[in-house]
């Protein structure tokens, strides 16, 4: 049994461990553990040295010789290296902490558990974490890596004229963001597109939710007959693939040849320029999105409405509540609390609703003196930038802004909804 | 103290890792390919060829590739990749060593491809004269020929013999047809085209002296844009008059035009040979084709010519044989076979003037139009032209002043070229 040893210094153990994993453990005279750590770190360095070396070098320089170095590959390898190093660093820190704890024990003269005992202890205590780890690693490479890649592109000059392998990329810092708000063709367009994106998100989503709620309440009324049939009909718009619907609508809304002007509005002597006037195109888009989006909300609300206990309404009836009061104080809060996260997703989804904008009129009609079409939202504009003008860097910069806006709203809203507040207190 | 020490050590470690000095290698540019002839180079076992993902085209090429294998003993591995996706895929597969030796692209992508360093120039050598001049010009970039042209394509006039017995020879003929046969209320039209699509409208600009980029000795000067000069404005006024007179509705789209023409409601349309199959099915013998009608200044409208081209991957290990292969595929005999099976017009001059094509009434019109056409510019700046010009045509259709609209569009194109990073 080891005795108290005041001359045994934890700082030395930490410093040694920092230098190379396992050295501190050797100093603590825990030889098997120390050797194990040394073997792990050594094999890590031998296996990964070359990969990390090139990865980090590539991440900093993005390559030096055109045609031989490929900036995109180097960038990805660099990001992977950073992730691997983050893992290694976490393990290394764990090793330092372990050395310190052991050193303190030795200082105080406490006994050590045997290696097998401590392994069993770690297994028992860390069981959930050990099983979460593979998933976490996958998550990092599948979710985080592409995001990091996109974010990195926003700070490079990746466009047609700087495309690997013939040309290398360069880091340009915040220049893309500066250009976005200073160069005329970006500036004027960016703000008008952003404004319409917000109007579109708020109006179209709110309308689809309002319509869904209204219909759900109507159909849920006990006096309504043929409920099943009505529900089926109302869910139909959801059943047809959206892109088919949108293309059909695009044909129907054609100013001259479309059914809406020709067969419907002509009865009233009207002819509305749905496709050629930006204002009317926006109206048409909002109408279509409302039509496309309400069935989901309707189905959602119908489900939730079933779960509201009859007793509450009976109690309200006894108290003499009006129809409106019952709706305000029982139905609405109930429905909204239960569905808030999904409704927020509807807003986020519409913010990035590329399909409808692109398929209906390709962001058109054109507006004089603007770099995007009259109904382009940020995401369809980004698509245009990437695929017609190959401005990958600007596209990445705008995507980053979109991502920040959407996640900002989402985080704020989620934190205020009950479903997320109650996490862990079930 | 302890904290400071550990922080210091941590920093030392980090710097140690970060200062890793990168790959060691002799700093030497990879050497340019020495042009050897196929005979001198070692014969490879196989060549990998990316072809467009189209059933008929694959069918035609399979026969031709088979013949090449019989002739030389080199196996051809045919991989179908949509033409539109090939460059993107090549940019990733090439460096990784999984790319093809030969790939297939429309010539207007050459600028992008060369900028990205994906293709090597090809020396056409003694067979250069076999290809039509337009096709060779189309694949020439910076004075070098990139690739061997396979297919040429342009647009022309289709007409319905039930409604007009003869093709309109001049613009006046065409306008008379439009005047007589158009009855928009009944959906009947004398003449329709996608008049807000720059691709189809360009010949009317160019016929009066407009141009996209000034071309001197096979090099495009992208700072000289001729889309707002007097000729272009004159062309734009002509196009605007069709809308003003109500000959062409400004809501026209390709689908609507095809629908009306196949219903037999339209006398004349301007579009490309890719519509032959569906038109023929609908109209049968009544369908006929012709080159674009002559403008009032006596000039033929200069339609855009697109050339589909076999290109040599910069990553190919067997460049000499790949070139030999491309020349074989595009020779007269094989071009004709390709035409018969896939229905596309050959870039090979001898094949194009072969009786099989000139006697085909539906192809002859286009084959003739090609000699008046000019290749679409193959510089990468061209990709910035389409959208502003498309928008300008929409404004012109609405009745805005052509001169003002075109000047604005040219300004936008210049801004876009600058903003896309050109010249930096």
Task: Give me the residues of B, 282-301, that contact A with CB < 8 A.
Answer: none
Give the pLDDT score at B389: 93
Check B95 against A70: CB less than 8 A apart. Answer: yes
**Shortest CA gap A410–chain B (Å):** 33
**Does B419 touch chain A if contact means CB atoms closer than 8 Å?**
yes
Q: Which residues contact B337 (CB under 8 A, 6 or more apart)?
A: B60, B63, B64
What is the per-residue pLDDT across A187-232, written as a single tens digit (0 to 9) for each? Answer: 888 889 999 999 999 999 999 999 999 999 999 888 888 988 999 9
What is the distance, to the nearest Å, from the Cα of residue A101 to the centroid of all Cα atoms in its chain?
40
The whole-number average pLDDT for the span A228-247 is 90
B277 touches chain A (CB under 8 A): no
- Asked if B391 lies within 8 A of A160 by C-beta distance, the reply is no
Q: Residues of A with CB below 8 A from B314's CB? A: 67
Alpha carbon distance A307, B268 (integer Å): 64
pLDDT winner (highest mean) among A9-23, A275-289, A389-403 = A275-289
CA nearest to B17, candidates A91, A52, A93: A52
Output the average pLDDT for chain B: 87
Residues 346-375, chain A, touching B (beta carbon < 8 A) = 364-366, 368-369, 371
Cβ within 8 Å, pair A166-B386:
no
| Dihedral-angle region of residue B35 (phi above 0 means left; psi in -120 to 50 means alpha; beta otherwise) | beta
Residue A292 has pLDDT above 50, yes or no: yes
Length of chain A in terms of residues written = 426
Query: Could you report the per-residue pLDDT of A321-347, keeping only the tens digit for each?
Result: 898 999 999 999 988 888 888 888 888
Residue B95 in contact with residue A165, Cβ under 8 Å? yes
Nearest-angstrom CA–CA distance, A286 and A280: 10
As given in the structure block, the two tokens for residue A131 are: 């099983």
Backbone angles phi, psi at B420, to 5 degrees: -80, -5
Rounded Cα–Cα distance for residues A186 and B409 (Å): 16
Kindly report, residue by residue over B263-279, the tens digit of the pLDDT.
Answer: 999 999 999 998 998 99
Range B83-109 average pLDDT: 88
Tokens at A140, concatenated? 């990092």
- Per-residue model confidence as pLDDT tens digits over B143-165: 889 999 999 999 999 999 999 99
> Minimal Cα–Cα distance from B162 to chain A, Å?
24
Please give the pLDDT value at position A426.
41
Pairwise pLDDT comparison (A4 vs A294), residue with the higher score = A294
The answer to whether A36 touches A142, Cβ cutoff 8 Å, is: no
Peptide bond into A365 cis (omega under 30): yes
Residue B236's Cβ-count burial label (10 Å; 0-12, 13-18, 19+) is buried
Q: Does the CB of B32 have a partner CB in chain A at under 8 Å?
A: no
pLDDT over 70 for what percent of chain A? 97
| A86 touches B: beta carbon within 8 Å | no
Share of chain B above pLDDT 90, in %: 55
- A14, A19, A389: residue with CB nearest B416: A389
Instruction: Give the mutation candidate from B8, B15, B16, B17 for the A interface (greatest A CB count, under 10 A).
Output: B17
In chain A, which residues have their Cβ closer than 8 Å to the Cβ of B23? Answer: 53-54, 57
Mutation pick from B419, B422, B423, B424 vs chain A, by most beta carbons of A within 10 Å, is B419
Q: A276, B250: Cβ pair inside 8 Å?
A: yes
User: If DSSP states are collapsed to H, E and C, what string results for chain B?
Assistant: CHHHHHHHHHHHHHHHHHCCCCCCCCCCCCCCCCCCCCCCCCCCCEEEEEECCCHHHHHHHHHHHHHHHHHHCCEEEEEECCCCCHHHHHHHHHHHCCCCCEEEEEHHHHHHHHHCCCEECCCCHHHHHHECHHHHHHCEECCEECCEEEEEECCEEEEECCCCCCCCCEHHHHHHHHHHHCEHHHCEEEEEECCCCHHHHHHHHHCCCCEEEEEECCEEEEEEEECCCHHHHHHHHHHHHHHHCCCCCCCCCHHHHHHHHHCCCEEEEEECHHHHHHHHHHHHHHEEEECCCECCCCCCCCCEEEEEEEEEECCCCCHHHHHHHHHHHCCHHHHHHHHHHHCCCECEHHHHCCHHHHCCHHHHHHHHHHHHCEECCCCHHHHHCHHHHHHHHHHHHHCCCHHHHHHHHHHHHHHHHHHCCCCC
- Locate tokens 């844009």: which residue? B225
For residues A263 and A257, give the distance between their C-alpha atoms in angstroms, rounded to a whole number: 10
Please give the CATH architecture assigned to the domain spanning A178-424. Orthogonal Bundle (1.10)
Cβ contact B229:B173 at 8 Å: no
Rounded Cα–Cα distance for residues A219 and A231 (Å): 8
Q: For residue B358, what pLDDT is reported?
A: 85
Give the bridge partners for B216, in sequence order. Answer: B219
Instruction: Quote the pLDDT of residue B266.
Output: 94
Checking if the pLDDT of B3 tops 80, the result is no
CA atoms of B207 and B232, how far apart (whole Å) = 9
User: Cβ contact (<8 Å) for B22 and A57?
Assistant: yes
Measured between CB atoms, does B94 come within 8 Å of chain A? yes
**Chain A within 8 Å of B80 (Cβ-Cβ)?**
no
Chain Cα centroid distance, residue A223: 43
Whether pLDDT at B34 is above 60: no
B165 touching A (Cβ < 8 Å): no
List of chain A residues whose C-beta atoms are within 8 Å of the C-beta of residue B253: 254
Closest chain B C-alpha to A63 CA, distance in angstroms: 10
pLDDT digits 0-9 by tens, B288-313: 999 999 999 999 999 999 999 999 99
Q: Taking a contact as any Cβ pair under 8 Å apart, which residues of chain B between 46 and 75 contact chain A?
A: none
Instruction: Let me know the angle formed at the C-alpha of B192 by B390 and B265, rounded to the nearest 5 degrees.
Output: 145
Please compute the mean of the pLDDT values over residues B227-238 and round it to a whole number. Answer: 94
Q: Which residues pair with B374 in a beta bridge?
A: B304
Which candidate from B5, B23, B384 shows the least CB-CB separation from A11?
B5
- Sequence-distant (6+) residues with CB within 8 A of A78 are A55, A56, A58, A59, A60
Q: Nearest-5° angle of CA A324, CA A326, CA A331?
A: 110
A179 vs B305 pLDDT, higher one:
B305
Bridge partners for B77 per DSSP: B48
Per the document, the length of chain B is: 424
How far lies B172's CA from each of A311, B178, B200, in Å?
83, 10, 19
* Closest-CA residue of chain A to B19: A57
B177 upstream amide cis, omega within 30 of 0: no
SS (H, E, C) A196-211: HHHHHHHHHHHHHHHH
Q: Report the distance separating Cα B402 and Cα B397, nearest Å.
A: 9
Q: In chain B, which residue's Cα lies nearest the Cα of A180?
A: B419
Q: What is the pLDDT of residue B18?
A: 56
Yes or no: say if B347 and B149 are a contact pair by the CB < 8 Å rule: yes
Nearest CA in chain B to A384: B387
The per-residue pLDDT for B32 is 46
Using an 8 Å CB-CB cutoff, list chain A residues near B420: 159-161, 389-391
Mean pLDDT, residues B365-376 taken together = 90
B77 confidence band (pLDDT: 50, 70, 90) = very high
Question: Which residues of chain A make contact with B383, given a CB cutoff of 8 A?
Answer: 160, 388-390
Q: Answer whether residue A249 shows pLDDT above 90.
A: yes
Of B251, B386, B416, nearest to A256 by CB-CB distance is B251
**Which pLDDT belongs to residue B25?**
67
User: For chain A, how many helices (H) and strands (E)?
Assistant: 19, 0
Q: Where are the alpha helices (DSSP H) in A140-183?
A: 145-153, 175-182
Mutate to test the interface with B, among A178, A366, A367 (most CBs of B within 10 A): A366
B354 interface with A at CB cutoff 8 Å: no
A-chain CB neighbours of B406 within 8 Å are: none
Cα–Cα dist B380/B1, whole Å: 61
Residue A102 CB neighbour total at 10 angstroms? 24
| Cβ count near B323 (within 10 Å) | 26
CB A111 within 8 A of CB A2: yes
How many CB pairs below 8 A link A and B?
139
- Cβ-contact A155, A172 below 8 angstroms: yes
pLDDT at A128 over 60: yes
Between residues B172 and A122, the one the model is more confident about: B172
Does any CB of chain B come closer than 8 Å to the CB of residue A12?
A: no
Residue B15 pLDDT more than 70? no
Sketch out chain B's domains with CATH numbers: 46-153+306-375 (3.40.190.10), 156-303+377-420 (3.40.190.10)
**pLDDT higher than threshold 50 for residue A117:** yes
In the predicted structure, residue B20 carries a pLDDT above the cut 80 = no
Question: pLDDT (tens digit, 9 = 90+) per residue, B374-403?
Answer: 999 999 888 889 889 999 999 999 899 999
Q: Which of A49, A166, A369 to mutate to test the interface with B (most CBs of B within 10 A)?
A: A166
Across the interface, whether the CB atoms of A164 and B91 are under 8 A apart is answered yes
pLDDT at residue B33 tops 50 = no
Backbone φ and ψ for B154, nearest 5 degrees, come out as -150, -175
Name chain B contacts of A390, Cβ cutoff 8 Å: 112, 383, 420
Give the pLDDT confidence score for residue B30 in this predicted structure. 47
- Enumerate residues 6+ apart whose C-beta is below 8 A from A379: A351, A352, A353, A354, A357, A402
Helical ranges in B121-275 per DSSP H: 133-138, 171-181, 198-206, 230-244, 254-262
d(CA B385, CA B410) in angstroms, rounded, equals 8
Nearest to A53 among B20, B29, B114 (CB): B20
**Do the Cβ atoms of A28 and A109 come closer than 8 Å?**
no
Tokens of B90: 């090549």
Q: Examine the pLDDT at B63 and tell me if it is beyond 50.
A: yes
Quickly list H helices, B34-128.
55-72, 86-96, 110-115
Q: Which whole number is the average pLDDT over A303-312?
A: 89
**Cis omega (within 30 of 0) for bond into A165:** yes
Query: Which pLDDT band holds residue B26 (cuts at 50, 70, 90)?
Result: low
Distance spanning both ends of chain A, measured CA to CA: 47
* Nearest chain B Cα distance for residue A11, angstroms: 6
Q: Distance between CA A163 and CA B420 in Å, rounded?
A: 12
- Helix, strand, coil share of chain B (percent; to 5): 50, 20, 30
For residue B370, pLDDT over 60 is answered with: yes
Nearest to B176 by CA among B245, B232, B233, B239: B245
Cβ A209 vs Cβ A298: under 8 Å: no
Contact A161 B5 (CB under 8 A): no
Which residues of chain A are in CATH 1.10.3720.10 domains? Answer: 178-424
Distance from CA of A97 to the nearest CA of B (A): 12
ipTM above 0.90, yes or no: no
Does residue B17 belong to the interface with chain A, where contact is any CB pair within 8 Å?
yes
For testing contact with chain A, the best of B1, B10, B23 (most A CBs within 10 A)? B23
């Amino acid at each position: 049994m080891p005795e108290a040893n005041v001359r045994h210094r934890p700082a030395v153990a930490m410093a040694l461990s920092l230098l190379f994993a396992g050295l501190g453990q050797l100093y603590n005279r825990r030889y098997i553990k120390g050797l194990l750590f040394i073997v792990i770190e050594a094999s890590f360095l031998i296996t990964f040295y070359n990969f990390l070396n090139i990865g980090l070098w590539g991440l900093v320089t993005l390559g030096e010789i055109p045609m031989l170095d490929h900036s995109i590959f180097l960038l990805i390898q660099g990001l992977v290296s950073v992730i691997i190093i983050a893992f290694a660093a976490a393990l290394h820190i764990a090793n330092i902490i372990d050395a310190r704890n052991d050193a303190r024990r030795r200082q105080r003269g406490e006994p050590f558990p045997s290696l097998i005992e401590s392994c069993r202890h770690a297994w028992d205590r860390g069981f959930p974490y050990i099983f979460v780890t593979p998933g976490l690693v996958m998550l990092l490479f599948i979710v985080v890596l592409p995001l990091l890649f996109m974010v990195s592109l926003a700070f490079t000059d990746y466009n047609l004229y700087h495309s690997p392998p013939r040309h290398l990329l360069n880091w340009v810092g915040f220049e893309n963001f500066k250009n976005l708000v200073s160069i005329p063709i970006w500036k004027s367009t960016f703000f008008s597109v952003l404004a319409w994106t917000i109007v579109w998100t708020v109006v179209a989503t709110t309308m689809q939710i309002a319509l869904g709620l209204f219909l759900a309440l109507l159909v849920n009324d006990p006096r309504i007959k043929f409920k099943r049939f009505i529900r089926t009909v109302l869910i139909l718009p959801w059943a047809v693939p959206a892109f088919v619907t949108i293309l059909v609508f695009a044909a129907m809304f054609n100013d001259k040849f479309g059914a809406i002007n020709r067969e419907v509005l002509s009865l009233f002597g009207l002819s509305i320029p749905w496709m050629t006037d930006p204002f009317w195109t926006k109206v048409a888009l909002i109408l279509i999105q409302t039509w496309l989006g309400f069935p989901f909300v309707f189905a959602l609300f119908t489900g939730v409405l079933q779960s509201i206990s009859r007793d509450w309404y009976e109690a309200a009836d006894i108290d003499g509540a009006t129809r409106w009061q019952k709706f305000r104080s029982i139905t609405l809060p109930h429905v909204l609390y239960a569905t808030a996260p999904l409704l927020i997703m509807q807003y986020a989804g519409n913010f990035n609703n590329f399909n409808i904008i692109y398929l209906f009129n390709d962001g058109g009609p054109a507006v004089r003196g603007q770099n995007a079409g009259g109904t382009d939202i940020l995401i369809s504009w980004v698509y245009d930038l990437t695929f017609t003008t190959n401005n990958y860097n600007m596209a990445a910069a705008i995507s980053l802004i979109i991502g920040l806006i959407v996640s900002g709203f989402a985080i704020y809203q989620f934190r205020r909804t009950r479903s997320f507040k109650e996490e862990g207190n079930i | 103290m302890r904290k400071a020490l550990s922080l210091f050590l941590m920093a030392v470690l980090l710097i140690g890792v970060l200062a890793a000095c990168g790959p060691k290698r002799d700093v030497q540019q990879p050497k340019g390919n020495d042009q050897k002839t196929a005979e001198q180079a070692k014969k490879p076992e196989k060549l990998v060829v990316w072809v467009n993902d189209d059933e008929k085209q694959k069918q035609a090429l399979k026969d031709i590739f088979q013949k090449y294998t019989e002739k030389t003993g080199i196996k051809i591995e045919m991989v179908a990749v949509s033409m539109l996706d090939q460059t993107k895929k090549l940019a990733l597969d090439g460096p990784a060593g999984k790319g093809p030796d030969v790939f297939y692209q429309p010539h207007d992508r050459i600028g992008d491809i060369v900028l990205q360093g994906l293709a090597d120039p090809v020396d056409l050598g003694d067979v250069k004269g076999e290809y039509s001049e337009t096709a060779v010009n189309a694949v020439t970039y910076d004075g070098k020929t990139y690739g061997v042209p396979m297919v040429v394509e342009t647009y022309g006039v289709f007409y319905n013999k039930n409604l007009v017995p003869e093709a309109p020879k001049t613009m006046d003929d065409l306008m008379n047809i439009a005047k007589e046969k158009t009855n928009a209320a009944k959906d009947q039209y004398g003449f329709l085209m996608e008049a807000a699509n720059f691709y189809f409208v360009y010949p009317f600009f160019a016929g009066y002296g407009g141009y996209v980029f000034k071309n001197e000795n096979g090099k495009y000067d992208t700072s000289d844009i001729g889309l707002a000069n007097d000729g272009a404005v004159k062309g734009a006024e002509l196009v605007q008059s069709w809308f003003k007179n109500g000959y062409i509705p400004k809501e026209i789209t390709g689908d609507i035009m095809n629908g009306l023409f196949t219903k037999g409601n339209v006398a004349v349309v301007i579009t490309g040979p890719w519509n032959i199959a569906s038109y023929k099915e609908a109209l049968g013998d009544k369908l006929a084709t012709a080159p674009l009608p002559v403008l009032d200044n006596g000039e033929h409208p200069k339609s855009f010519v697109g050339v589909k081209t076999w290109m040599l991957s910069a990553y190919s290990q067997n460049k000499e044989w790949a070139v030999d292969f491309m020349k074989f595929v595009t020779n007269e005999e094989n071009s004709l076979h390709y035409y018969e099976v896939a229905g596309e017009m050959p870039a090979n001059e001898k094949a194009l003037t072969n009786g099989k094509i000139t006697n085909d009434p539906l192809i002859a019109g286009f084959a003739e139009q090609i000699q008046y056409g000019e290749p679409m510019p193959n510089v990468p700046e061209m990709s910035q032209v389409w959208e502003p010009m498309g928008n300008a045509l929409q404004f012109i259709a609405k009745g805005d002043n052509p001169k003002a609209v075109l000047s604005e569009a040219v300004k936008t194109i210049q801004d876009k070229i600058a903003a896309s990073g050109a010249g930096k």
